[in-house]
Amino acid sequence: MQASDSVLSAVEDGVLKLTLNRPDKLNAFNIEMHVALRAELERACDDTTIRAVLLTGSGRAFSAGQDLSDRDPRKRTAPHDLGHSLDTYYNPAIRLIRDLRKPVVVAVNGVAAGAGANIALACDIVIAARSAKFVQAFSKVGLVPDAGGSWTLPRILGEPRAKALMLTGEPLAAETAAEWGLIWKAVDDVDLLDQAGQLARKLAKGPTIGLGLTKHLIQLAASNTLDAQLDLERDSQRVAGNSADYAEGVAAFLDKRPPVFRGE
Ligand code: T3D
């Protein structure tokens, strides 16, 4: 199924591959692209044959964030309501990525700026081309960080680095992002899609229920007390322990053969 030219989608080996596809605009977000991405993320949630998502961009950029040509103040009599834009488009996308009980891998193929950077950083595993960079571009146009960036960066990097990146808008190279723990790893540009694709396929063959619960546990860890987290581990393990994939995992171990997980 191809919902829109601005987001290409294909399912193979249980992986929904989504490619942001406005390369002439560095894959900047307009309403059409938002609507298409949202429809695809909802599909990832509902379709049990999809067991992992791989997100990337076409051309030389991952995404330059909001399409600023849709925000030209000279073409308007009153300011655009950016709060409405976040409520309607960006925030639902971030929530869908975070709430999806399936792994989301992002292959950052080039520059990721503004909301484009923070959408990438909301994904579960971030692999970037060595030439890619992350730009908290908001301050350059008088805005504040959005798409979850003001939550994500301080948590991962601490205040000093988050503030420096967000107040200056200076680009952060992929290798430094990896050294700082902001992303999983930087790989040679030519290897990016191979490595990200292999990883997504491996995850799609995994015990989907357990992986989804693991994602959820990790996301709640920072705001939970240890007691609350122990309770959540207990409840999650109970669910994982009832899954067919757990039975298969144990049987395969005892049989000394690789498990065949079905995501059930
Ligand atoms: O508005 C709301 O709904 C609220 C939400 C806001 C979220 C946001 O994301 S705000 C932040 C928006 N993004 C930016 O401010 C980034 C703007 N772009 C840049 O700073 C640079 O383009 C990059 C650092 C991303 C890349 O630089 P470079 O030198 O590699 O490329 P370039 O030459 O600047 O751009 C290439 C083309 O893409 C160029 O068009 P042209 O001249 O070839 O016709 C440029 O205008 C276009 N482009 C790049 N970014 C955007 C864009 N066009 C529209 N919107 C963009 N964001």
239 lies in the same domain as 179: no
Distances (CA, A) of 39 to 32, 47, 222: 11, 12, 30
124 lies in the same domain as 247: no
148 lies in the same domain as 45: yes
Q: Which amino acid is at 259?
A: P
In what side-by-side order are the strands of the sheet with 111-113? Answer: 61-63, 111-113, 133-135, 172-173
CA–centroid distance, residue 28 to ligand 1 (Å): 7
Q: Which two tokens stand for residue 14?
A: 């249980």
Q: How does pLDDT run across 63-83, given as a tens digit for each residue?
A: 999 999 999 999 988 899 999
Residue 259: HSE in the Cβ half-sphere, 13 Å Cα cutoff: 18
**Structural domain includes residue 80:** yes
15 lies in the same domain as 128: yes
**Structural domain includes residue 262:** no
Q: The CATH number of the domain where 123 resides is what?
A: 3.90.226.10
Q: How far apart are CA 162 and CA 78, in angstroms?
A: 32
**Structural domain includes residue 264:** no
CA–centroid distance, residue 63 to ligand 1 (Å): 8
109 lies in the same domain as 154: yes
Do the Cβ atoms of 182 and 121 come closer than 8 Å?
A: yes
162 lies in the same domain as 216: no
Ligand 1 atom closest to residue 25's alpha carbon, by position in its atom list: 38
The dihedral built from the CA positions of residue 36, 106, 84 and 59, taken in this order, carries a sign that is: negative
**Structural domain includes residue 76:** yes
pLDDT value of position 2:
61
Q: Is the pLDDT of residue 3 over 80?
A: no
Q: How does pLDDT run across 184-193, given as a tens digit for each residue?
A: 999 999 999 9
**Structural domain includes residue 63:** yes
pLDDT value of position 4:
81
Q: What is the mean pLDDT of residues 238-263?
A: 98
CA–centroid distance, residue 75 to ligand 1 (Å): 18
For the chain, how long is the longest CA-to-CA vector?
A: 71
Q: How far apart are CA 96 and CA 91, in angstroms?
A: 9
CA–centroid distance, residue 1 to ligand 1 (Å): 29
Residue 71: HSE in the Cβ half-sphere, 13 Å Cα cutoff: 15
132 lies in the same domain as 248: no
β-pair type (52-57, 104-108): parallel
The binding-site residues of ligand 1, defined as CB within 6 angstroms of any ligand atom, are 25-26, 28, 64-69, 71, 82, 85, 111, 113-115, 135, 137-138, 140-141, 143, 146
188 lies in the same domain as 215: no
Range of the domain at 153: 7-204
Q: What is the mean pLDDT of residues 106-132?
A: 98
- C-beta neighbour count of 216 within 10 angstroms: 16
Ligand 1 atom closest to residue 71's alpha carbon, by position in its atom list: 1
87 lies in the same domain as 131: yes
Among candidate residues 203, 199, 170, 174, the one with its CA nearest the CA of residue 188? 174
Residue with tokens 């996308």: 93
Residue with tokens 């909001």: 66
Q: Which amino acid is at 17?
A: K
Q: pTM score, two decimals?
A: 0.97
**Structural domain includes residue 224:** yes
Ligand 1 atom closest to residue 138's alpha carbon, by position in its atom list: 11
Q: The CATH number of the domain where 233 resides is what?
A: 1.10.12
CA–centroid distance, residue 20 to ligand 1 (Å): 15
133 lies in the same domain as 249: no
Which of the listed residues 26, 62, 138, 146 should we mutate to test ligand 1's pocket, taking the one with most ligand atoms within 8 A of CB?
Answer: 26
**Structural domain includes residue 261:** no
CA–centroid distance, residue 29 to ligand 1 (Å): 10
pLDDT value of position 165:
98
Whose CA is closest to atom 38 on ligand 1?
Answer: 25
Do the Cβ atoms of 3 and 9 come closer than 8 Å?
A: yes
- C-beta neighbour count of 241 within 10 angstroms: 11
> SS3 of 78, please?
coil
Q: What's the distance, CA 126 to chain centroid?
A: 7
**Structural domain includes residue 2:** no
CA–centroid distance, residue 46 to ligand 1 (Å): 33
Q: How does pLDDT run across 209-228, given as a tens digit for each residue?
A: 999 999 999 999 999 999 99
Number of structural domains found in the chain? 2
164 lies in the same domain as 229: no
Which of the listed residues 37, 67, 68 should we mutate to test ligand 1's pocket, taking the one with most ligand atoms within 8 A of CB?
Answer: 68
Q: Which two tokens stand for residue 78?
A: 């009153």
CA–centroid distance, residue 106 to ligand 1 (Å): 20
- The mean of the pLDDT values for the chain is 97
